[in-house]
Amino acid sequence: MTHPGHSDSLPGARIEAYFEKSGTLRKYERGTAMLRYESPEPKIFLLQSGTAALHVADPSQSNDLNVIHLVPGDVFGTTESEANNRIQMYVLAKTVCVAYVMTASEFLAGCSSDPTGMFAICNELTQTSLRALRKVGQFAFFDVRGRVSSALVELCTLPEAKSHPKGFLLNTTRVEIASMVGCTREMVGKVLQNLQDEGLISLKGRQTLVHAGASQ
């Protein structure tokens, strides 16, 4: 499956050239917080390899939500700090990740010499924000079954999803899915069982086989 929202080859090349000139290539181990939006030094990232996820957390309520996944080619970050906000946002490396990183000052310094690259990066930041906004909209308009089904489709687009003659094979826990849909793992389990009963998926331990028709 194709990950949504990526630029065509020309803007993508301009973006990568901008990051190569003004940014630094860094490696992040699995489980590392790549970016915290409340950091006093805002940064912009271009993910080169690995899978990351944008999380929203309310520490006072011990709530943490995985809003969207980020894959190679995605641009994310901010040019302004989100300090003094009760709701915290951060990007977590789900696997080992390699990314170009620019500080906001480095990004702005390159604007005059490469305005086309700057606009391409801003467009990609907007696309990432729109994806996150659409995901938040699911919490208002989708029931739990709809959110779990949508999460499975999203997981099928990630590099870790394995192609299978019958669809896509996922190695994802109920806890991980629950963090994507904002409900308990028990509720996720009930929905997954219902989907299996309907022949849309097959469950075996941690593995979930999403049948081809269900992943469209």
pLDDT in tens, 63-120: 889 999 999 999 999 988 776 777 889 999 999 999 999 999 999 998 888 999 999 9
Q: State which fold the 143-215 domain adopts.
A: Arc Repressor Mutant, subunit A (1.10.10)
Q: How many CA atoms lie within 13 A of 189 on its CB side?
A: 9
Judge contact between 211 and 199, C-beta under 8 A: yes
Q: What's CA 95's distance to the chain center, in Å?
A: 12
Helix axis angle, 144-156 to 174-181, nearest 10°: 110
Beta carbons of 15 and 124 less than 8 angstroms apart: yes
Listed by start position, the domains of the chain span: 9-140, 143-215
Strands (E) in 32-136, as ranges, are 33-36, 43-49, 52-58, 63-70, 75-77, 88-93, 97-103
pLDDT at res. 112:
85
Assigned architecture for domain 9-140: Sandwich (2.60)
Q: Quick one: average pLDDT of 136-158?
A: 91
At 202, the amino acid letter reads: S
Query: What integer pLDDT is reported at residue 10 of this predicted model?
Result: 66
Q: Whole-prediction pTM value?
A: 0.85
